Amino acid sequence: MMNETGNDHYLLTPGPLTTSLATKQAMLRDWGSRDPRFSALTKRIRQRLLTLVDASETHVCIPMQGSGTFAVEAALGTLIPRQGKVLVLVNGAYGRRIVSILQILGRETIVHETTEDTPCDVVRLGAALEADKDISHVAVIHCETTSGLLNPIKKVSDTVKRCGRRLLIDAMSAFGAIPLSAADIQFDAVMASSNKCLEGAPGFGFVIARQTSLVESEGNSHSLALDLYAQWRCFEKNGQWRFTPPTHVVAAFDQALEEYLSQGGLEARAARYRENYGILVGAMETLGFEMYLDPEIQAPIIATFHTPADPNFDFATFYDALAEEGFLIYPGKITSVDTFRIGCIGQLYPAQMNEAVRVITEVLHTMGVSNCHAQER
Ligand SMILES: *Cc1c(COP(=O)(O)O)cnc(C)c1O
């Protein structure tokens, strides 16, 4: 059965996520990738993304084909010189992914790791930057989607700025829903993608890069296709993507952005996600589920729950039963404890969250799960 988004289920995931019907319908048209109308559409998207982070005067927006990781790898490989040295703040899988990329790229890397339930350590960061003048860049994840943890991006930025280094932010799962402004966060690059809080379809990422840094980055990249500098030059030269763009996805993103802006932009989106999150977490806690993170450091993007200890609970059975009722949830990614995740982003409103909670309650009842605590009590 189709719902109002033209789909037979809702995605309670961190992306790809449920898109609006109009966003999906925007993909029904075939575009000429070198047609001026498609170039105009690309230009509008690039300009709008810059204004979302108040970066029109200082930065440029460079879309990159592929998933979000492609944009992250392009930004790291292009903006960090080969003799650069990067301090990476890690508290989950996406921080670890940045470390892997840098190792493959052969950039010298220092890892500051905190546990997956602990924000990055800004004091330790400051001390390391003072002590080691060779560190040229710091990389951080804004919302670590592994858990839903929100890192203290303002404090990180202030520390990096005070020490005169450059900051790269993977804001993939936060962009558009958690405030980030070039006016008070000093960054060389912010990376995000089409299929998270801006609610487009998957198919490209984008980098908001400081123009002066980008100008210096010519020749840094190890890669032909992931060369952010070359990609930028091409957009500047003729307004076109360097290689075949995901035309349908770009058109869908233009529609999704239009909806984002007309619905009230970041404030409205953040308020809706917070409301979704409140409904979900309130009901889950009433059922006895325990949150993995302290609410103080939790972003309203995705919630991580401890797996119940009740022997009648089985994640695969729970997942399948919810899917049968039209809700796809997400497995856990925490390395130390058994968890699962439920996303609050995408075309989800209180009505869908209330329905999801009703279905979860019913499924647990059918499974014979009476105790949702993480430990037997
Ligand atoms: C989604 C996400 C990415 C990119 O993942 P892809 O699967 O490549 O799209 C990177 N970082 C964070 C924090 C994310 O949430």
pLDDT at 246: 98
> Quick check: CB of 94 below 6 Å from ligand 1?
yes
Q: Which atom of ligand 1 is nearest to the CA of 72?
A: 10
Distance 307 CA to ligand 1 centre (A): 24
Residue-level pLDDT, tens digit, the chain, 377 residues: 789 999 999 999 998 999 999 999 999 999 999 999 999 999 999 999 999 999 999 999 999 999 999 999 999 999 999 999 999 999 999 999 999 999 999 999 999 999 999 999 999 999 999 999 999 999 999 999 999 999 999 999 999 999 999 999 999 999 999 999 999 999 999 999 999 999 999 999 999 999 999 999 999 999 999 999 999 999 999 999 999 999 999 999 999 999 999 999 999 999 999 999 999 999 999 999 999 999 999 999 999 999 999 999 999 999 999 999 999 999 999 999 999 999 999 999 999 999 999 999 999 999 999 989 997 65
pTM here is: 0.97
> Quick check: CB of 172 below 6 Å from ligand 1?
yes
Mutation to probe ligand 1, out of 94, 101, 178, 344 (largest number of atoms < 8 A from CB): 94
> Quick check: CB of 145 below 6 Å from ligand 1?
yes
Q: Which atom of ligand 1 is nearest to the CA of 145?
A: 15
> Quick check: CB of 69 below 6 Å from ligand 1?
yes
Distance 259 CA to ligand 1 centre (A): 23
Distance 250 CA to ligand 1 centre (A): 18
> Quick check: CB of 193 below 6 Å from ligand 1?
yes
Neighbours of 113 (CB within 10 A): 16
Q: What angle do CA 316, 322, 328 make, to 5 degrees?
A: 85
Distance 144 CA to ligand 1 centre (A): 9
Distance 71 CA to ligand 1 centre (A): 10
Q: Which residue has the least CA distance to atom 14 on ligand 1? A: 172
The SS3 call for residue 235 is helix
Give kind and range of the element (H or E) at residue 102: helix 93-105
295 preceded by cis ω (within 30°)?
no
Beta bridge partners of 87: 110, 138
To 10 degrees, the CA torsion angle through 302, 307, 308, 311? Answer: 150
* Rounded distance between C-alpha atoms, residue 193 and residue 173, angstroms: 8
> Quick check: CB of 191 below 6 Å from ligand 1?
no
Alpha helices (runs of H) in 169-307, residue ranges in sequence order: 211-215, 228-238, 247-262, 265-287
Q: Which atom of ligand 1 is nearest to the CA of 171?
A: 13
Distance 311 CA to ligand 1 centre (A): 33
Distance 370 CA to ligand 1 centre (A): 35
> Quick check: CB of 67 below 6 Å from ligand 1?
yes
Q: Which atom of ligand 1 is nearest to the CA of 173?
A: 15
Q: Which atom of ligand 1 is nearest to the CA of 195?
A: 9
Q: Which atom of ligand 1 is nearest to the CA of 143?
A: 13
Nearest CA to 95 among 333, 344, 316? Answer: 333
Residues 6+ apart with CB under 8 A from 236: none
Mutation to probe ligand 1, out of 173, 206, 207, 253 (largest number of atoms < 8 A from CB): 173
How large is the C-alpha radius of gyration of the chain?
21
pLDDT at 375: 77
Q: Which atom of ligand 1 is nearest to the CA of 205?
A: 9
pLDDT at 377: 52
> Quick check: CB of 170 below 6 Å from ligand 1?
yes
> Quick check: CB of 352 below 6 Å from ligand 1?
no
